[in-house]
Homo-oligomer: A and B are copies of this chain.
Amino acid sequence: MKQEDLTTKQIIIRAAEQVFMNKGYAAAKTTEIARVAGVNHAMLHYYFRTKENLFNMVFEQKAGLFGSSLSTVFDRPLSFRNKIRLAMETHFDILVANPRLPLFIFSEIMGSEEKREMAKRIILPKATDVLQKLTKGIRKEVAKGNIYPIEPLDLILNMVSVNIFTFIAFEALSDAIKRPDHEMAKRLQLRKESNVQFILRSLKPDK
């Protein structure tokens, strides 16, 4: 089934994803990726020639995903508050499915100029796009006196901050003995709503 259908190349990429996401580029060993994939390690070089090529394939995909998590649809026919809510919830849900994603991206761009440029190239366009839309939305609402006149960049940073940090903290604190999934899930849902409320409350106008 399914698994069997995957080509060797795809199997390797999946294994690479797993290992790179868990250990980072430098600590990951090509031999381990091969072992996880269940193939001879020469196959990695046959298909990708170098560890770095293989990594870049994974990294670009993950950077894209990270970018998508930001670029929420702001064009829906919703009130501003509900747009914010939807954006926060969508972002949060993507992180639920990819809890190690932000830390992975950040760790990698920390030590390498090239990877930083790669990530910027992929992520920045989406970020600036959503920033523009948000800016328009804020202007309108401020004009109507509905929200506090916050800087768009500050708002977006705050939105992603609280969501992302939720998962960094959970990762960091997660014991070897993981809690049952449904309890974890419930806790995350609470935190999601808390984050939304937090952002929305901070937006209320002064008087």
Given the known inter-chain contacts A106-B103, A106-B172, A198-B202, please indicate yes or no for A111 contacting B27, CB distance below 8 A: yes
Distance between Cα atoms of A100 and B110 in the complex (Å): 8
**Contact present for B165 and A160 (CB under 8 Å):** yes
Q: Nearest-CB distance from A161 to chain B (Å)?
A: 4
Given the known inter-chain contacts A106-B168, A107-B107, please indicate yes or no for A158 contacting B151, CB distance below 8 A: no
Distance between Cα atoms of A109 and B173 in the complex (Å): 10
Q: Nearest-CB distance from A152 to chain B (Å)?
A: 12
Distance between Cα atoms of A203 and B203 in the complex (Å): 11
Which of the residues B104, B111, B150 comes within 8 Å of A24, measured between beta carbons?
Answer: B111
Which of the residues B100, B107, B157 comes within 8 Å of A162, measured between beta carbons?
Answer: B157
Q: Is A116 an interface residue (CB 8 A)?
A: yes
Q: Is A32 an interface residue (CB 8 A)?
A: no
**Contact present for B191 and A111 (CB under 8 Å):** no
Distance between Cα atoms of A97 and B125 in the complex (Å): 30
Given the known inter-chain contacts A27-B111, A107-B103, A111-B27, please indicate yes or no for A165 contacting B172, CB distance below 8 A: no
